[in-house]
Structure 1
Amino acid sequence: MMDNLNDKIKGIRKSIIEMVTAGKSGHPGGSLSAADLIGVLYFEEMDITPENAGTTDRDRFVLSKGHASPLLYGVLKEKGILKEDIETFRHIDSKLQGHPNMNYVAGVDMSTGSLGQGISAAVGMAMANQLSKNSHRVYALLGDGECEEGQVWEAAMAAAHYQLDNLCAIVDFNGLQIDGDIHEVMNPTPLDEKFAAFGWHVICIDGHDLDAIRKAYQEAKETKGQPTVIVAKTIKGKGVSFMENKAAWHGVAPTQEECDAAVKEIEEA
């Protein structure tokens, strides 16, 4: 199972690089950093399949940091849900736009892009499930820079108030945003203490340790009476050595030569 999952995660990372290169724009750094988190989520935790992707009778995922759409498209491709050619990414008339659109792409549960709004939508989904006695869970991926948005904390307050224990947020804490180090741009830390103060159950992990990720999702499911947030320490650009821990790769497309080198490195890892 581990080898198969590793292959799937490599496939996600390769797709990220290939589509951003083909689109000549996009956000590789923060897509690569969360590939392990989302790989475990889609292949071992959530019950989404090509057959039920168009329904609400399943677990759902909101990419709150919508600019990381290559990550979402990559995992949907590996799951056999995405049918569009990833090389059309960000092209005119392509369904694979820079921010995901739920009206165009199967398996996209919320159109996102304006930071802070995705987690708010996820709170609404979780509340709807709670009211309708739908036992399925809702997951949302946020960026650490996104946590500078006030709307994130309004959503956090509401989720705790309504005891949404069917909601699990994941913070991709890679420490870098488009303008640089988050601590210098607008320091949102300590994220663990802030979420705890808002009434959330908090789990802090290494976001590239697959066993730690598995255990965190299990702990989130077992936590009752409050929502859970997984604060995952990650490496921006993970898997491509010349991109790792470099804010410059937040929103820049590789050249074809850089793409070929990155794909080779991912394949050989």
Structure 2
Amino acid sequence: MTEEKLYELQQTSLKVREHIIRMSGNGGCFIGASLSCADLTVYLYKEFLNISKETLNDETRDYLFLSKGHDVPALYGTFVELGWLEKDRLNNHLKTNDFIYWHPNRNIPGIEFHSGSLGHNFSVAAGVALDCKLKNINNKIVVIVGDGELNEGSMWEGLLVANAYKLDNVLVIVDRNQFQANLSTEELIPLEPLDKKFEAFNCAVKKINGHNFDEMENVFNSFPFEKNKISVVIAETVRGKGLPSIEKRADRWFVNFKQEEIEQLIQELHGNAKANLTSETLMVR
């Protein structure tokens, strides 16, 4: 990846994280998990998915299903940076005059399917993937799931069916931030060895750092990983990424910050981003 492209993605992710933080007041949002998948949503929409504002209803487009729907602030923020959603509409978060709230709603352009109960969107995505296969449409069906969501039996039932139909147009991305709500996944219901579990369900599995754009590019560009198999990426992420004061904190699952706290977090976000810029990125700037 070029330094210019890397810097562009980093700056877009920074803006998306700022949108997420600003949605954490006036009723709050699921900030930790939204921050953990922000880099993934940015990369997927800017570099990987064949979809644009003009092709949102084109049946040959690529699809992204956010199965871990409580992370939708990351999706809203990404849509704003893509120009699909007006920035001012984020001020309507949780208000009755709009459809922007804690879970995806199809009334927002770009949202493929609503979510509520976890574990359902993979099966929806598999149905869309089968339909595309039957129509000989060569597109990508991407599903972002949470690691805690993998406790749902519907996830594994869906994988069995999807592999029975050899839906190698499906890519599952696990946001592996190690938390489910306010407990660690391994403390509540252990998932490891997670890669072996997916492989036992006949999936082709790869692991990446879910905050490293170079790794994303290398792995996603090799999709599908194996013919006739579901591709699975286990993206190792950090809950609350970008805000050291709340990173990896179980008590920062859902938050409702005051405006003063939000402004402090915005300052922390930008200060942390500046401190982490590589010398190469600074040269590009």
Could you tell me which amino acid in structure 1 is paired with residue 255 of structure 2? V
CA distance in 1, matches of 2:192, 2:163: 19
Cα drift, residue 56 of structure 1: 2.7
**2:192 corresponds to:** 189
TM-aligned CA distance change 1:59 to 1:260, over 3 Å: same
CA distance in 2, matches of 1:59, 1:262: 34
Match of 2:74 among 61, 71, 78: 71
The size of the alignment, in residue pairs, is 267
CA distance in 2, matches of 1:253, 1:158: 40
Does the alignment pair 1:198 with 2:201?
A: yes
**Unaligned segments of structure 2, at least 5 residues:** 274-285
CA distance in 2, matches of 1:246, 1:162: 40
**2:49 corresponds to:** 46
Query: Percent same amino acid among aligned pairs?
Result: 34
Could you tell me which amino acid in structure 2 is paired with residue 100 of structure 1? P
CA distance in 2, matches of 1:266, 1:49: 29
- Residue by residue, what CA displacement relative to the aligned partner does 1:87-124 show, whole Å, maximum 9, x if unpaired? 1111223211211111x100001111210001111111
Match of 2:6 among 2, 9, 14: 2
**1:172 corresponds to:** 175
If the length of structure 2 is used for normalisation, what is the TM-score? 0.90
Could you tell me which amino acid in structure 2 is paired with residue 223 of structure 1? E
**1:19 corresponds to:** 23
CA distance in 2, matches of 1:174, 1:253: 21
- Residue by residue, what CA displacement relative to the aligned partner does 1:211-266 show, whole Å, maximum 9, x if unpaired? 11111211223532211010011100000111100121111122222211222232
Match of 1:89 among 84, 88, 93: 93
CA distance in 1, matches of 2:35, 2:264: 15
CA distance in 1, matches of 2:265, 2:51: 29
Taking only aligned residues, the RMSD between alpha carbons, in angstroms, comes to 1.3
Task: Specify the structure having the higher radius of gyration (Cα).
Answer: 2
CA contact (8 A) 1:145 1:177 kept: yes
2:244 partner SS: coil
- Residue by residue, what CA displacement relative to the aligned partner does 1:137-193 show, whole Å, maximum 9, x if unpaired? 110100000000000101111121111111101000111111311111122222111
**Structure 2 counterparts to residues 85-164 of structure 1, below 5 A:** 85-102=89-106, 104-164=107-167
CA distance in 1, matches of 2:115, 2:260: 31
Cα drift, residue 20 of structure 1: 2.3
CA contact (8 A) 2:225 2:231 kept: no
2:191 partner SS: coil
Could you tell me which amino acid in structure 2 is paired with residue 143 of structure 1? G
1:230 partner SS: strand
CA contact (8 A) 1:47 1:59 kept: yes
If the length of structure 1 is used for normalisation, what is the TM-score? 0.95
CA contact (8 A) 1:112 1:118 kept: yes
Cα drift, residue 9 of structure 1: 0.8
**Unaligned segments of structure 1, at least 5 residues:** none
CA contact (8 A) 2:24 2:262 kept: no
2:111 partner SS: coil
2:24 partner SS: helix
CA distance in 1, matches of 2:45, 2:269: 20
